[in-house]
Amino acid sequence: MQAERRLRDLRGRVKAARAALSMTSRLAEILVTDWRKAAAFYARFGITEEHLRHGVRVTPHDESDNLAEESRYREHGQGEARLWE
């Protein structure tokens, strides 16, 4: 129960950070060019750059989350692709 709450909270913080990023002009450029401002931005929301870029996974990373493998499965119809966000 507490893990689910933390996961929802983290997802909410990622959503808020993405909203701030989309509402603020040139913020994406600044995050790429100024590591201090980027660090402050991520700390303000309590997230990492990976969370912002890729979302929050429900399960830990494993081989089934490999995007190269997913495209191979899709091409050959060997299974379903799974992405968690």
Q: What is the pLDDT of residues 10-39, one digit of tens each?
A: 999 999 999 999 999 999 999 999 999 999
Question: What pTM did the predictor assign?
Answer: 0.66
Of the pLDDT bands very low, low, confident and very high (cuts 50, 70, 90), residue 66 is low
Length of the chain: 85
Q: What percent of the chain has pLDDT over 70?
A: 68
Give the number of other Cβ atoms within 10 Å of residue 13's Cβ. Answer: 17
Domain spans in the chain, listed from the N-terminal domain onward: 2-54, 57-85
Chain centroid to CA 10 = 10
